[in-house]
Chains A and B, each alone.
Chain A
Amino acid sequence: MENRIFNKEMECMSRKDMEALQLERLKALVDYCERNSEFYAKRLAKAGVTADKIKCLSDIEYIPYTTKDDLRDTYPFGMLSVPMEDIVRIHASSGTTGNPTVVAYTREDMEHWSEQVARLAVAAGATKNTIVQICFGYGMFTGALGLHYGLEKVGAVVVPTSSGNTEKQLKFMRDFGTTAIVATPSYCMYLAEAARGMQDKYPMDMYKLKYGILGSEGSTPEMRAEIENHWGNGFFCTDNYGMSELNGPGMSGECMYRDGLHINEDHFYCEIIDSASGSVLEKGATGELVVTNLTKRGLPMLRYRTKDITNINYEPCKCGRTSARMHKIIGRSDDMIKVRGVNVFPSQVESALIGMTEISPNYLIVLRRENYSDSMEVRVELIDGGLLDRYGELVALQKRIQDNIKNILGIAIKVTLVEPNSIERFTGKAKRVLDLRNQ
């Protein structure tokens, strides 16, 4: 894959220059918010922060955090900082509870957003010659239109197929010679499986697919390898990250080296904090990502708590970019549990279990306090009767799961095999942790 960079000036800037630019933009943003946002003006005044109090980047710590609740509480337009006539787009994300979160963009915001996405699209392999199908659902969700505008800015041929209608998707892929797709990892996999299912009629070499720009849901390295193998022919996929509160996709994305997601630092100033105490952690530490969108004006975001857990690497990358790279999202701060001082996310346990056909995908983490120390047990449901013939095979399975989890978490745990359907199922978000430590 050819290594291209969309905006060398911004993506390869020296750390010193980047920090100077960020500081300048941060001051301008605080000043802007004071003068244009009723919501922020009140909040900044209460905290005693003014633009001239910001002398260096770490002075950002004077500014209070913004949360999703702030957006909900001010639904729909309470955080708008320009008159409605200056807004050119509104998106909303459907909350599972309460009000949706509404975000709004000025024309300038849209320009910035497209620029941000264009950079990650180029890092993911897009060029003027790319023919890309956008298989995200269009609508209020920022994913489809975000990638759409960004890829148009690159000059790629955008085919807005939206999600679903798999046979049509595959037909267009073959007939148009589509070279890239934008999709969730699971849909990308589903398409590949469907294509393989029709091989007799349409051999796999009828597809010219080279790149997958995946997003909107996380994927493990194993899942990604599986997707790439399924498409074959050197199909290569990258991840990107964003959320509607921060424009949408475009905050960061992987390059061909896939060693972290390059952050568009001239637009997004990132901090890592301890979720529980709210204090800022040192560089390189793992914690909750807090983002200030330095260039957003329609609905500014100061120190937005993403609730996503990651860490940031400030070393330059082999690809030539000097922009900091964030680790793939490790978990959600809401889901984090502490076991013997180690942060554990259910998603990590899940990734250790993925692909094991002997057990069901359902699991339960049980935490106990024994002899003043935490113990962690993972219960999994045995569904493969074939292992029952020999007792040793069950013990070997138990050990294999135990080792997999230990490799990921770094702590020893106990695995218990239980009967199928014995772990309670919850509709919607499954409850994965049973904490008995305070009983």
Chain B
Amino acid sequence: MYIKQLSVFVENKGGRLAEITSVMANADINIRGLSIADTTDFGILRLIVDKPFEAEQKLKAAGLTVSLSDVIAVSIPDKTGGFAETMKAVSDKDVGVEYVYEFVPRNASHAYFVLRVADNEKAVAALKAHGCELLEGEEY
């Protein structure tokens, strides 16, 4: 039902992002999706990768503060208003959405969205009822 997302604490200093992504590249880990939330002081880098557990180990070994959490990956129908409808399905059930970003799984013909919500179970039920396709396990 869920996929693994890595969150990495990064100070806003130049070159840090390049460093982190090269840790991934050196370990032969593919980054499928990425988002950065930041203030003037620090940021949180969110990553969807093909080998999340290995990536977590590598980043920790590189001295970074990292966490791994379950997020929902939902396929959005490729039509006008598709995204809005999907979001509405979730918000109608009173589930708060904290952030959303796009990612492209391996061999996929269209984009998926990573959804971080206040209540995973409720959101999944709502999305399924709405007929959405969810990604799970390690199929990305």
Contacts and interface: CB of A to CB of B under 8 A. Distances in A.
Contacts of A420: 63-65
Nearest to A391: B37
A202 to B, nearest CB: 39
Task: Please report whether the interface of chain A is mostly helix, strand, loop or mixed according to DSSP.
Answer: mixed
Interface of A: 382-391, 394-395, 416-422
Interface of B: 7-11, 37, 39, 41-42, 44, 63-67, 69, 98-99, 116
B98 A390 contact: yes
Best-surrounded residue of A382, A389, A417 (most CB of chain B within 10 A): A389
A417 B9 contact: yes
Given A389-B7, A419-B9, A394 B44 contact: yes
B10 to A, nearest CB: 7
Nearest to A422: B11
A419 B11 contact: yes
B37 A417 contact: no
B42 A388 contact: no
Nearest to B10: A419
B67 A388 contact: yes
A389 B67 CA distance: 7
Nearest to B99: A391
Contacts of A391: 37, 44, 98-99
Contact of A394 (B42, B64, B98, B99): B42
Task: Please report whether the interface of chain B is mostly helix, strand, loop or mixed according to DSSP.
Answer: strand
B63 A385 contact: no
Given A391-B44, A416-B41, A417-B42, A386 B11 contact: no
A356 to B, nearest CB: 14
Contacts of A417: 9, 11, 41-42
A422 B69 CA distance: 25
B112 to A, nearest CB: 20
Contacts of A385: 7, 9, 65-67
B7 A416 contact: no
Given A390-B98, A394-B44, A422-B11, A382 B65 contact: yes
A383 B66 CA distance: 9
A388 B8 contact: yes
Contacts of B44: 388, 391, 394
A385 B45 CA distance: 12
A388 B7 contact: yes
Best-surrounded residue of B9, B67, B69, B99 (most CB of chain A within 10 A): B9
Contacts of B65: 382-385, 388, 419-420
29 contacts: A382-B9, A382-B65, A384-B65, A385-B9, A385-B65, A386-B67, A387-B67, A388-B8, A388-B66, A389-B69, A390-B98, A391-B37, A391-B44, A391-B98, A391-B99, A394-B9, A394-B42, A395-B39, A416-B42, A417-B11, A418-B11, A418-B42, A419-B9, A419-B10, A419-B63, A419-B64, A419-B65, A420-B64, A422-B11
Contacts of A416: 41-42
Given A387-B67, A389-B116, A419-B65, 15 more contacts: A384-B65, A388-B65, A388-B67, A391-B44, A394-B42, A395-B39, A416-B41, A416-B42, A417-B9, A417-B11, A418-B11, A419-B10, A419-B63, A420-B64, A421-B63
Nearest to B71: A389
A100 B69 CA distance: 56
Contacts of B8: 388
A422 B42 CA distance: 13
Nearest to B8: A388
